[in-house]
């Protein structure tokens, strides 16, 4: 019958284990030595682990992990970072004699054989936590057989001779599968209970250290059958399993009956949610920029997914949220301004449906905020929210004019220089047969000939004719040279013959990120520091791999300090801008 067969198999296994641990010492030792590198790999953290991207203050922005190939989420935590309640609950659920057995609990194996016989089914397997650690890492895909069980026992016994029990517990809790792609207790705690690590720069209090009794007892019961006991989809059976774990803890005098009842009541009221609904992405345009433009080219996509890196970025999440809020508000909500009164929303009033923002520290190039659209989740054709307009090529319009005026100032011009503003017709390109012509207009559809037009007023009020005259004077090649020094490589690398007078009005495409860097160069007294997005990278054990020296950035002088001063002075001059903008548009250049 079935019951005697189970009993026979269990007894044979016990006899085999005795044989392995007594008479087969030489063969067992040889086998253990052969498998030793794999076991050491567990202790050395050489397991696939999630990569985490943080802002400059330690706020988690995104978790990267491999969804395929038997991988998932894992963040290794040390034994001292794991709640003692979780450790006790795991012992109560899986291995009552963990602290005293030699990796192979012979009494537990005999007890499992008797239980199996009484129930006429396989209720207990008799495996210790140490054996489960070995099985999960080395034999998970192997068919269960007497030989496999014997080899598990050999390695489990050897493991207890090589590592202290606390280290084995640490290894087990970081490798065991809790379901829903969660490998290890830290991933499970973050997923099922939405507990966030409390982080600052280079220091984190993991979710595993914050687990209480209710959370610990439920999670400790999951490894027995992760899919079946998944509390998101099978809450009732997960709570039944938790009750079993709690009663085992009571029997082992780890907790009282009252504590067990309180723990059951707590989880009964908890609403479990899936990982996708709780663990999102913060500052998505910036994060994807960092991944695609910086990390993947340097680290590699697969290594990034499984390497367990900690990426500390330059972003200030609080500032980023404020930028996103302001951009969204200006486009989609009615606004009030002391000068304009009530106006908007701009998407209705002016058919303006999208915006992008880059905030950068001019002294060290650190990107503090990047908003690539007004609404990341808006998929309408007018917005295409997930498209990052902050790094896409766009015509800069009048924001390009300071580049050509800086070129003119280098060639001897000055802010009080007179530049007439009157109707003028220009050849549309440097060469053409037959030639075509171009007659630009100002923003207000007027020409301003009633008073002497200075370079200061022309720049401040963004008049077009003086800008084109400036380009005609300095020459396109010289403007291209200045653009290259300011980091506008999209323009600087093109042939001068591809430009015409409209170049002065910003018709040549650049990215907002590079344009912001160019303006940051003016603010930094002519010293250009390239945009940077990474402050520090550490490996999965916290050892630094890269660190950006913010105090001493590697800047290069792009233009003289006096030229930068002149540009800053004009852009910050409220009174000069009054003619066209009535004091509403003020560019503040930090110096």
Helix (H) / strand (E) element for 311: namely strand 310-313
Give burial (CB, 10 Å; 0-12/13-18/19+) of 132. Answer: buried
Per CATH, the homologous superfamily of domain 176-279 is Biosynthetic peptidoglycan transglycosylase-like (1.10.3810.10)
Taking the domain 393-539+555-581, which CATH number applies?
3.40.710.10
Pair type for strands 426-427 and 437-438:
antiparallel
Instruction: Judge whether residue 14 has pLDDT over 80.
Output: no
CA distance 33 to 27: 10
CA distance 195 to 198: 9
CA distance 375 to 323: 11
**Distances from the Cα of 369 to the Cαs of 36, 390, 506, in angstroms?**
48, 11, 24
Query: Residue 63 — φ and ψ, nearest 5°?
Result: -115, 125
Query: Residue 88 — φ and ψ, nearest 5°?
Result: -65, -40
220 pLDDT band (50/70/90 cuts)?
Answer: very high
pTM, whole model, 2 decimals?
A: 0.86
Q: Which pLDDT does position 147 carry in this prediction?
A: 75
CA distance 325 to 188: 32
441 pLDDT band (50/70/90 cuts)?
Answer: confident
Looking at every residue in the chain, the average pLDDT score rounds to 87
CA distance 561 to 115: 85
CA distance 110 to 268: 35
212 pLDDT band (50/70/90 cuts)?
Answer: very high
Residues of the chain with CATH 1.10.3810.10: 176-279
The answer to whether the CB of 361 falls within 8 A of the CB of 368 is yes
Q: Which of 101-110, 156-165, 262-271 has the lowest mean pLDDT?
A: 101-110
Three-state SS at 544: strand
Dihedral angle over CA of 135, 138, 141, 145, nearest 10: -60
- In this predicted model, what pLDDT tens digit does every residue of 474-528 receive, in sequence order? 999 999 999 999 999 999 999 998 998 899 999 999 999 999 999 999 999 999 9
Give burial (CB, 10 Å; 0-12/13-18/19+) of 374. Answer: buried
**What angle is formed at CA 81 by the lines to CA 78 and CA 82, rounded to 5 degrees?**
100
Residues of the chain with CATH 3.40.710.10: 393-539+555-581
**What angle is formed at CA 135 by the lines to CA 154 and CA 15, rounded to 5 degrees?**
40
The residue-averaged pLDDT of 47-60 equals 94
DSSP conformational letter for 105? -
**Distances from the Cα of 357 to the Cαs of 87, 155, 413, in angstroms?**
47, 57, 32
- In this predicted model, what pLDDT tens digit does every residue of 58-117 receive, in sequence order? 999 999 999 887 899 999 999 999 999 999 999 999 999 999 999 997 776 666 556 655
What is the dihedral sign for C-alpha 241, 242, 243, 244?
Answer: positive
Look at phi and psi of residue 243 and say left if phi exceeds 0, alpha if psi is from -120 to 50, else beta.
Answer: alpha
Query: Residue 357 — φ and ψ, nearest 5°?
Result: -140, 140
């Amino acid at each position: 019958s079935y019951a005697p067969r189970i009993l026979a198999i269990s007894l044979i296994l016990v006899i085999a284990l005795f044989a392995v641990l007594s008479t087969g010492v030489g063969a067992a030792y040889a086998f253990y030595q052969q498998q030793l590198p794999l076991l050491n790999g567990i202790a050395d953290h050489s397991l696939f682990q999630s990569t985490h991207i943080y802002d400059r203050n330690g706020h988690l922005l995104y978790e990267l992990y491999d969804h395929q190939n038997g991988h998932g989420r894992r963040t290794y935590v040390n034994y001292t970072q794991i709640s003692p309640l979780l450790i006790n609950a795991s012992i109560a659920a899986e291995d009552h004699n963990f602290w005293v057995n030699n990796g192979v609990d012979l009494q537990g194996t005999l007890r499992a054989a008797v239980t199996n016989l009484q129930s006429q089914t396989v209720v207990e397997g008799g495996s210790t936590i140490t054996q489960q650690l070995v099985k999960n890492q080395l034999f998970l895909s192997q068919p269960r057989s007497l030989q496999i069980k014997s080899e598990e026992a050999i390695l489990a016994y050897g493991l207890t001779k090589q590592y202290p029990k606390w280290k084995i517990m640490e290894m087990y809790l970081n490798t065991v599968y809790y379901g829903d792609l969660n490998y290890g207790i830290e991933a499970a705690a973050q997923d099922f209970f939405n507990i966030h690590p409390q982080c600052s720069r280079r220091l984190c209090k993991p979710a595993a250290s914050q687990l209480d009794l209710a959370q610990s007892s439920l999670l400790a019961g999951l490894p027995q059958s992760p899919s079946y006991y998944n509390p998101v989809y099978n809450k009732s059976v997960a709570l039944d399993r938790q009750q079993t774990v709690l009663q085992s803890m009571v029997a082992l005098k780890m907790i009282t009956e009252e504590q067990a009842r309180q723990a059951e009541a707590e989880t009964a009221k908890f609403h479990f949610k899936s990982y996708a609904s709780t663990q999102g992405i913060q500052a998505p345009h910036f994060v994807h920029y960092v991944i695609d433009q910086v990390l993947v080219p340097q680290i590699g996509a697969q290594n990034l997914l499984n390497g367990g890196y900690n990426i500390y970025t330059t972003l200030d999440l609080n500032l980023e949220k404020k930028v996103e809020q302001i951009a969204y508000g200006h486009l989609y909500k009615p606004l009030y301004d002391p000068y304009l009164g009530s106006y908007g929303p701009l998407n209705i009033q002016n058919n303006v449906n999208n915006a992008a923002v880059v905030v950068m520290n001019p002294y060290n190039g650190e990107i503090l905020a990047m908003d690539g659209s007004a609404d990341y989740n808006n998929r309408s054709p007018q917005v295409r929210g997930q498209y990052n307009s902050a790094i896409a090529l766009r015509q800069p319009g009048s924001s390009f004019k300071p580049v050509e005026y800086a070129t003119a100032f280098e060639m001897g011009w000055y802010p009080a220089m007179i530049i007439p503003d009157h109707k003028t017709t220009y050849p549309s390109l440097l060469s053409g047969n037959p030639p075509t012509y171009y007659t630009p207009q100002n923003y207000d559809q007027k020409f301003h000939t009633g008073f002497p037009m200075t370079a200061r007023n022309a720049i401040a009020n963004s008049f077009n004719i003086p800008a084109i005259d400036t380009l005609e004077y300095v020459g396109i090649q010289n403007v291209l040279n200045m653009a290259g020094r300011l980091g506008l490589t999209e323009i600087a690398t093109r042939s001068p013959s591809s430009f015409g007078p409209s170049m002065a009005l910003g018709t040549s495409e650049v990215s907002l990120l590079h344009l912001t860097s160019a303006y940051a160069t003016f603010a930094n007294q002519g010293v250009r520091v390239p945009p940077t997005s990474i402050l520090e990278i550490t490996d999965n054990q916290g050892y630094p791999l890269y660190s950006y020296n913010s105090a001493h950035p590697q800047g290069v002088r792009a233009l003289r300090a006096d030229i930068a001063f002149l540009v800053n002075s004009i852009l910050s001059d409220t009174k000069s801008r009054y003619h066209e903008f009535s004091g509403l548009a003020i560019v503040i250049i930090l110096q």
